[in-house]
Amino acid sequence: MNYLLIAVLGYLIGSIPNGLLIGKKIYNVDLRHFGSKNIGATNAFRTLGLWPAFWVFFTDAAKGVIAVYVSDFFIGTPIALLTGGIAAIIGHNWSVFLRFTGGRGVATGLGVIAVLVPQITAIIFLIWAIIVYITRYVSLASIVSAVLVPIFMWLWGEKIEFLYFGILAALFVVGRHKPNIERLLKGTELKIKAGNMSVNSKEK
């Protein structure tokens, strides 16, 4: 199997819209019509509550894990692992099943990192959780955590290929958070609160 097929497989795995499927099939709610209209864990938390958000986050992260392990099984080189991981993030952000729209790549990217550099995953997640707890801004926590990933990779002396992945993944996450950055600067970004957007009101 060549790298192109690894990329295609990773992309298709990443494209699976878990948030949409969980919302519609289990809770009869299409997250695209509520809150931020994003199908990620944050909007699931705001719209549906803690446990739906947990399962969205878990399954989105699992896409990154599976994509890397599939790449490892078929080829096994560092470049193959990175190809599958990046492809999964791209698939999550621009899903073929959602007309090339999607999430912001945070959970899927964390899943990839958990396999590639597990020693920094807990630290990154802890930093993310602390920022969310203090500020109540998930977007800010995600942006800061993404930027810290390549920095920690460099400090840990990881392979140069993994460092490049960390930089690219950070760029993806920050780029997908551009509207959030603008709202943070304006002071209009929503703070996290479980179930504060009624599924009956379709609040924007």
SS (H, E, C) the chain: CCHHHHHHHHHHHHHCCHHHHHHHHHHCCCHHHCCCCCCCHHHHHHHCCHHHHHHHHHHHHHHHHHHHHHHHHHCCCHHHHHHHHHHHHHHHHCEHHHCCECCCCHHHHHHHHHHHCHHHHHHHHHHHHHHHHHHCCHHHHHHHHHHHHHHHHHHCCCCHHHHHHHHHHHHHHHHHCHHHHHHHHHCCCCCCCCCCCCCCCCCC
pLDDT digits 0-9 by tens, 148-179? 999 999 999 988 999 999 999 999 999 999 99
**Positions of the chain with pLDDT lower than 50, given as ranges:** 196-204
Question: Other CB atoms closer than 10 Å to residue 168's CB: what's the count?
Answer: 16
**pLDDT at residue number 195:** 56
CB 9 within 8 A of CB 84: yes
Query: What are the residues whose beta carbons fall under 8 Å from the beta carbon of 200, sequence distance 6 or more?
Result: none
Question: Could you tell me the residue ranges of all domains in the chain?
Answer: 3-186
Query: What are the residues whose beta carbons fall under 8 Å from the beta carbon of 174, sequence distance 6 or more?
Result: 143, 146, 147, 181
**pLDDT at residue number 192:** 85
Q: Residue 57 and residue 39: Cα distance in Å, rounded? A: 10
**pLDDT at residue number 203:** 38
Instruction: Give residue 16's identity as a one-letter amino acid code.
Output: I
Question: Other CB atoms closer than 10 Å to residue 28's CB: what's the count?
Answer: 8
